[in-house]
A and B are shown apart, each in its own frame.
Chain A
Amino acid sequence: METLRTLPGDDVRQILWRYADRFDLQMAVQSARSIARSVVARLVADGVRNTHEWTERKAELLKAFDESGLTSIYMDPAQGGFIEGPKNLALALVAMELAWVDGGAATSALASCLGLAPIHEKGTDEQRAHYLPLCTPPQPGEDRVCRRAAFALTEPLPYVGVDTGILGGKMRVQSWDDGAEPLLKVEKRGRFITNMDFADIVTAAVESDDPRIKGSCMIILEKDDPGTFDRGAPTLKMVHQLSSTRDPVMSLTVPASRIIGGYDVVDGVIVPRFSHGEIIASVFHRTRIPVGLMTSAKLLSAIEPIIRYHRQRFRGGSVGEPGSRRHELGLQMNEDALQRLVDVWATGEAGCSLGLAAARLADRFDPIEREKDRQFAAQGIKGRKQLAALKDSQERALEYVRLKYAPAGQADPARLAELEADTLAQFVYMDALAGVLNPATKLWNTGVGATMMREAVSLVGGYGITEDCPGFLCHKWMDAQLEATYEGPEAVQRRHLTLTMTNPVFLELVRQWSAELRRSQAGGAAALAGALDLWLWTLDFLQNGADRDGKKLYHGKRQGVTFPLADALGWLLAARSLMQDVAVLAAEAPASPVLAEAAPGLTAFYADMACVQAARAAGEAARVCAELVYGYGCGQAQDGPGGPCIVFTGSEEFARLRQGVDQGLHGTRLAKDRAAEALTAVMIPEALDYPL
């Protein structure tokens, strides 16, 4: 049976990733794609990545982004943009299109948004109204240059890197005349600051070094402020050369009104309204999603060049005339070449499903978060009282989750609607979910993605490790490592997850997902449901258990316990997201006039890929759980048939659950065989659509 007819095009992607009804997003995708596959691809093909310096050729990128609207994609229409409302999904899709060809170019496109994000998220109205339009390209007839921003958090050792709680950057009051705006002296040395070759505006994290200023903040620095604005040495990086990175040194005098979000004067002390920690939390909350997706896009981009390489490997030789199996299939005659490619593909799909679910959630979450802030402000609820109010809403959030996932017909629709309109309950629900999905996207997509990218490279043999490799695969493999590092490396994401994955609302979601999967007939669903249950059991065991020395197992400092559990969760979330998307495809593809005829085969292929991914994820998670439970398990020495041995008590339930996972694997290898077979028949374009 013919399953997959052509490689999935936009029609398929728009259904899978839920933007079939958003023409603004489709346009943004088209814009980004046309630049990626022309300007960007040309730069990479011409070896422009071979220098650390920011060159004129690299600067062509900025011009292309300006002209095609990508620079202003972050802004609202009133500020010179063209997309109304939250833009997390838009930024994610654009980053993917660019990263399909080159990750550095994608970073370049995103970095100005990152630089502006502190102002966008927490800036005062005046700060937003001033800086965002400045950073849009001039419209016809306007006489100004487009300003660009950089985000300066990390500093040279021994200051802030992963541990962003401590800062080396300092601010002091330089002068404070009666009734006038205080002038601040800001000292900031950055490390690895993206956009630094051309940034006009830097949003920098700094701490008070003066009794007249309280705590920390982020502050806006401009290149023409009095003092030193030294862009510093370029970073001698091996990757992402189509973005600029330097280690700047800034010592500038700025008015206190540059403090992002403003400040109050309390008893003669300047009190910033937001600490640097609060600002970066809300910025990274969102901006980490596109970074994770950049790595997944690389995996998807590898499929076509690899199939082409495999099919053509023996062409032109003395054996294998046209029409022969060797000529037509080349290396695709071999099961391994096919099945490994299915793994690469399924990993890419799962990463995209996870990351785009996070991006869509962020879009829904943004207005809820603002509405929550508005309600609290209107009622004068501040600080600890906010926490209490949210805690009170947790029961309703839990009820909402139970109703949302209740089997069809079993939930009271009126109550569901009521809870859907309950801002605080929705906030608590979405906060719990986003708190896990966002770091999981950054952690799983980049970490597992980098490993999978190595598989992709290996599938192109010796050619894979050359610069001539079609699809720039070896560049992408190295680039993936940077994506796993910046905006907080894997350790940071694991730490984040350690805190958020134990949220009761999230744990209730996991229970509901498991039940939903058990109701589904999809291949691999049983294994995945089993693995979710196993994970829940293991978490509970670790949270309540102690090791042989009586030390608590689940503990912030015990990364040997908490981190693997976070990794296991990443696998499960990604596989579940893919299953969700495939279910949507199965439901909607038949109605698409473009896909209708091909829909059955297409959805069967995707179901097989989701099954492959579910099997792999369940296996990974079960392995991690078994290692933790048995590995730390408190046993007793007993006499066994073969002599003394340690017997772990309380393992029967675990063993039963683990067996459930294994049994859930039934048929999953057959699914992989089918998916692999489909790769031999899929139609690919005549030529890669960007240069070698």
Chain B
Amino acid sequence: MSYHIVVCGSIVPDPLQTLEPVAGPGGPALKNEMMLPAVLDPWAAHALFEAANLAKNVPGSKVWLVSVGPKAKLQQVMMHVAQKVPFELVVMDGPAGGFVEAADTAAALAKAVEGITGLDKGKLLLFGGWSSASRGTGATLQILGELLGVTEQFQGVDELRPADDGSFEVKERIEGGGYLRSRCAGAPAVLGWATGNLPEPPNNPQVGMQNMRLIMPALQKAQPAAVGAAGVAYKAVELPGTRRQTRIVKDTPVDDIAREIVEWIKG
């Protein structure tokens, strides 16, 4: 039993950047958003690495990365991501910021997934981030699953273990640091990944060159996606105020750092 794994993920500003909400012509936006360096949303990245690993271990499986995002920025990010693991990219060109309605994005994603040639829905595992770094509603993937008629849904996944009969076991995060283990009879299913277990794979330019041969045409023929925040009124947009009290201390033992954090939390 092989899988057709569709990973949904887009880009977010590199977390080192200063983010400042501003009123843009099309509603709220981040200051200089188009010019900020972007990365693949870390949650989606975890999902992608897990997908690639699963596909590697279950012969006959295949991975697609489906993305709704500004294609010019996506292209830059792909130069990096494409070197990590093999996948095929499907793109819808549109905004991917934190102010886009989850329902709009899910609808665009659904359209993109439906359009994948050769996709066998019976083998479909729909992967994505449990939440996203641009706006952590955690709603997009759930709505997408519903739109595609995939109702087996798991959120906050850290582990997926396939069995030979096509069923699999899932470890989901629940409250208080606990886990829920479930067994699912098989695809199709939605899995919103937490951080998974895999480290970021090292760059492999051979894989990169292979991927880019398909990624560049995919970007060129990306269809515009009608996503946005139409009909939504934002009452206020602000970032949590930063309160940094950083000390730079070299060579502090880990135990001391931990002790200090505990004291700080208690105090």
Report A's interface with B, CB cutoff 8 A. 5-6, 9-11, 23-24, 26-31, 34, 64, 67-69, 73, 82, 468, 592-595, 597-598, 683-687, 689, 692
Contact = CB atoms under 8 A, between A and B. Distances in A.
Contacts of A27: 79-80, 82-83, 205, 208-209, 212
A684 B18 contact: yes
A82 B206 contact: yes
Contact of A597 (B34, B76, B80, B209): B34
Given A26-B79, A68-B202, A689 B16 contact: yes
What bracket does the count of chain B residues touching chain A fall in?
20 to 34
Nearest to B215: A23
A337 B151 CA distance: 61
A308 to B, nearest CB: 11
B32 A23 contact: no
B216 A82 contact: no
A82 B37 contact: no
B150 interface: no
Contacts of A597: 34
B31 to A, nearest CB: 7
25 contacts: A5-B32, A5-B35, A6-B35, A11-B76, A23-B79, A27-B79, A27-B83, A27-B208, A27-B212, A29-B79, A30-B203, A31-B203, A34-B203, A68-B202, A69-B205, A592-B72, A593-B72, A594-B34, A594-B70, A597-B34, A598-B35, A684-B18, A686-B16, A686-B18, A687-B16
Contacts of B35: 5-6, 9, 11, 594-595, 598
B184 interface: no
A609 B73 CA distance: 27
Most A CB within 10 A of own CB, among B17, B18, B34, B248: B34
A468 B248 CA distance: 10
Interface string B191-232: 000000000001111101100100010000000000000000
A594 B79 CA distance: 16
Nearest to A692: B248
A30 B83 contact: yes
Most B CB within 10 A of own CB, among A594, A595, A597: A594
Contacts of B72: 11, 592-594
Contact of A24 (B70, B209, B248): B209
Nearest to A467: B250
Contacts of A82: 205-206, 208-209
Contacts of B248: 468, 692
B152 interface: no
Interface of B: 14, 16-18, 31-32, 34-37, 70-73, 76, 79-80, 82-83, 202-206, 208-209, 212, 216, 248, 250
Nearest to B244: A686
Contacts of A5: 32, 35
A72 to B, nearest CB: 8
A292 to B, nearest CB: 25
A69 B206 contact: yes
A378 to B, nearest CB: 34
Contacts of B70: 593-594
Contacts of A594: 34-35, 70, 72-73, 76
Most A CB within 10 A of own CB, among B32, B36, B205: B205
B162 to A, nearest CB: 22
Contacts of A31: 83, 203, 205
A683 B18 contact: yes
B80 A34 contact: yes
B202 A683 contact: no
Contacts of B76: 10-11, 26, 594
A43 to B, nearest CB: 15
A28 B212 contact: no
Contacts of B34: 593-595, 597-598
Given A10-B37, A28-B205, A592-B72, A683 B32 contact: yes
B16 A69 contact: no
B17 A685 contact: yes
A593 B72 CA distance: 7
Contacts of A11: 35, 72, 76
Given A31-B83, A69-B208, A598-B34, 11 more contacts: A6-B32, A9-B35, A9-B36, A9-B37, A11-B35, A30-B83, A31-B205, A68-B83, A593-B72, A594-B76, A692-B248
Nearest to B208: A27
Contacts of B202: 64, 67-68
Contact of B203 (A69, A595, A684): A69
Most A CB within 10 A of own CB, among B31, B35, B36, B71: B35
A10 B38 CA distance: 11
B89 to A, nearest CB: 13
A657 B89 CA distance: 59
Nearest to A2: B32
B16 A68 contact: no
A509 B34 CA distance: 40
A120 to B, nearest CB: 19
Nearest to B37: A9
Given A6-B32, A23-B216, A30-B80, A685 B205 contact: no
Contacts of B71: 593
Nearest to A77: B209
Contacts of B14: 685, 689
Contact of B16 (A6, A10, A593, A685): A685
Contacts of B216: 23
